[in-house]
C-alpha cells in the first residue's frame, strides 16, 4: 500500500492538521465538560491518551483476526475494558480528581475519537503505525483541551493550574466556568482556528 501514511505522518497529522477537536469535531462532550480548569482537563487528556493507546495497540495486534461484522463489538469491548481500568485507577490514586471528573471518565467509551481511530488506522496498519497515530491524536486532543481550559480558567477565576495569575482586581468572569462559557469559548476558538487555516491556505495559493 504505497499511499498509507507512515507512522511519522500519522503522528504529525494527529497534532494539528487532523486535530480531533478543531478539525474532526470528535470528542466534544469531554472538551466542554471538563475544561473548567487545567488540572481536570489534563487528567482527562491523560486518561483518554491511555485508553486510545492501549485500544489501538490491542486492535492492531488482532487486526488479522477481525471479522467485518463483529469488529465494532470487539472495539467496544476493548475500549470499555480500558476505560474501566482507567476509572478505577483514578478512583484509587487521585480520588478528589475522580470525583471532580465524575461521569465523564466512563463517557470516554462513547468518545467517537477512539472508535474512529481504531476503525481508520489500527485495524488496518501495524502496531507501530497504530501506536504513533494514538500518540499524535492524544497530543492533539491534549492541546485542544489545554487551549480551551486555559482561556476558561484564566478569564473565569484568574488562575492557571489552581495558582493565581491575574491580579486581584480582575473581576472573575464567572460565566466562563459555567456551561455557557464552555460553548462560547469553543465556538470562538474554533472560529479562530478556521480563520488561521483560511489565511494560510490563501497565502499558499498566492
Partner 1 sequence: MKPIEPMEPMKSSTLERIRNNYVVQAWLVLILAICFGGSLAGMQLALGPLIEANKINETLKKVPEMVLGAKKAEKLTKDQQLIIEPQTVEIEKNNRKVFYSVFKAKHPNGDPAGWVAKAVGQGYADKIEILFGMDNKLKKITGLFVLDQKETPGLGNKIMEEGWRQQFVKKKTATPLKVTKEGAKAAHEIDSITGATISSRAVCSIINTTIKDLRAPLSK
Partner 2 sequence: MSYIVDILLIAVGAALINNFVLYYFVGICPFIGVSRKVDMAFGMGCAVTFVISIAAFLSWTITTYILKPGAPLSKWMAGFFVSPEMAANIDLTILCYIVYIFAISSSVQFVEMYVRKFFPALYKSFGVFLPLITTNCAILFACLTIMSNVAGVDNPADAWDLGRSLTLAVFGGIGFTIAIVIMAGIREELDLCDIPKPLEGAAITFVVAGILALAFMGFTGVDSGLKKALTPEPQETVQVQMIQTSQTLTCSGL
The residues that touch partner 2, with contacts defined as CB under 8 A, are: 25-26, 28-29, 32-33, 72-73, 76-77, 80-81, 83-84, 87-88, 103, 106-107, 109-110, 112, 115, 175, 178-184, 186-188, 190-192, 194-195, 198
CB of 45 to partner 1, least distance (A): 22
**90 near 155, Cβ under 8 Å?**
no
- Give the x/- contact pattern for partner 1 in 36-75, rule: CB under 8 A: --------------------------x--xxx--x--xx-
Among 16, 85, 97, 127, binds partner 1 (CB under 8 A): 85
- The entry of partner 1, partner 2, none near residue 100 (CB within 5 to 8 angstroms by kind) is none
CB of 3 to partner 1, least distance (A): 29
Q: Distance between CA 142 and CA 42 in Å, rounded?
A: 7
- The entry of partner 2, partner 1, none near residue 182 (CB within 5 to 8 angstroms by kind) is partner 2
- Please report which helix (H) or strand (E) contains residue 159, including its range: strand 159-160
Look up residue 76 and give its three cell numbers: 467496544
Among candidates 151, 115, 121, 119, which has minimal Cα distance to 136? 121
Q: Distance between CA 33 and CA 177 in Å, rounded?
A: 10
- The entry of partner 1, partner 2, none near residue 156 (CB within 5 to 8 angstroms by kind) is partner 1
HSE (side-chain half, CA atoms, 13 Å) at 80: 6
Helix/strand/coil for 203:
helix
Amino acid at each position: 500500500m504505497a499511499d498509507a501514511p507512515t507512522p511519522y505522518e500519522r503522528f504529525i497529522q494527529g497534532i494539528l492538521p487532523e486535530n480531533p477537536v478543531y478539525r474532526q469535531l470528535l470528542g466534544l462532550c469531554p472538551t466542554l465538560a471538563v475544561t473548567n480548569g487545567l488540572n481536570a482537563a489534563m487528567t482527562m487528556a491523560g486518561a483518554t491518551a491511555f485508553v486510545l493507546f492501549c485500544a489501538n495497540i490491542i486492535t492492531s495486534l488482532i487486526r488479522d483476526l477481525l471479522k467485518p461484522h463483529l469488529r465494532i463489538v470487539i472495539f467496544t469491548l476493548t475500549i470499555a475494558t480500558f476505560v474501566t481500568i482507567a476509572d478505577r485507577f483514578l478512583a484509587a490514586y487521585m480520588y478528589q480528581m475522580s470525583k471532580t471528573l465524575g461521569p465523564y471518565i466512563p463517557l470516554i467509551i462513547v468518545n467517537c475519537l477512539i472508535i474512529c481511530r481504531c476503525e481508520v488506522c489500527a485495524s488496518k496498519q501495524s502496531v507501530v503505525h497504530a501506536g504513533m497515530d494514538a500518540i499524535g491524536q492524544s497530543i492533539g486532543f491534549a492541546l485542544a483541551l489545554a487551549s480551551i481550559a486555559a482561556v476558561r480558567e484564566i478569564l473565569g477565576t484568574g488562575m492557571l493550574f489552581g495558582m493565581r495569575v491575574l491580579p486581584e482586581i480582575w473581576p472573575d468572569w464567572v460565566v466562563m466556568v459555567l456551561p455557557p462559557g464552555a460553548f462560547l469559548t469553543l465556538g470562538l476558538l474554533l472560529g479562530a482556528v478556521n480563520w488561521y487555516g483560511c489565511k494560510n491556505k490563501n497565502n499558499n495559493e498566492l
